[in-house]
Amino acid sequence: MNIPEPLDFIESEIPQGLSVIEASAGTGKTYAISHMVPRLLLEGTVERLGDVLLVTFTNDAARELSARVRRVLETLAAPAAPDEMRTEPGIHRLRAKFLGAGSRAIIERALIEIDQLNVSTIHSFCQRTIQAEGTL
């Protein structure tokens, strides 16, 4: 039996293409994903937020995920709080690893393009795909 490795949203390898994050409720998936999206932008894995597709189960989860990504980007765009290491350890880790020359422009562009982030339910994603591709 393969035991999956724990996901570290800063250090874990994220292969290009389709990636699936599967875990039980309350394990921090939304937290990890909301920090991984800025990471993908800052490390250059994706160029624009519109290149990211996040699919979840419910409309509430989709709204929450979208709001959390926005909050992380807004927090990264602002100067670091004096107690950020304690109060926002994920943000602190992103700043330490990825924020440098040019990163501010990436974050600011992402905030301008935040409405292009594709966050949807499985149902709405399938429905859009079928409508775009047609049926047999």
Integer CA distances (angstroms), 87 to 16, 35, 80, 92, 93, in order: 31, 15, 11, 9, 12
- Tens-place pLDDT, residues 5-63: 778 999 998 877 777 777 788 888 999 999 999 999 999 999 999 999 999 999 999 99
Q: Report the percent of the chain where pLDDT is more than 70.
A: 96
The one-letter code for the residue type at 112 is I
Look up residue 33 and give its two tokens. 């994903």
Full-model pTM: 0.89
What Rg do the C-alpha atoms of the chain give, in angstroms?
Answer: 16
Q: Averaged over 104-119, what is the pLDDT?
A: 96
3-state DSSP assignment of residue 40: helix
pLDDT at 76: 96
Let me know: does 39 contact 72? Beta carbons within 8 Å: no
Give the whole-angstrom CA distance, residue 123 versus residue 56: 9
Question: What structural domains and CATH numbers belong to the chain?
Answer: 29-133 (3.40.50.300)
pLDDT at 88: 97
Helix or strand run (H / E) with residue 126? helix 122-133
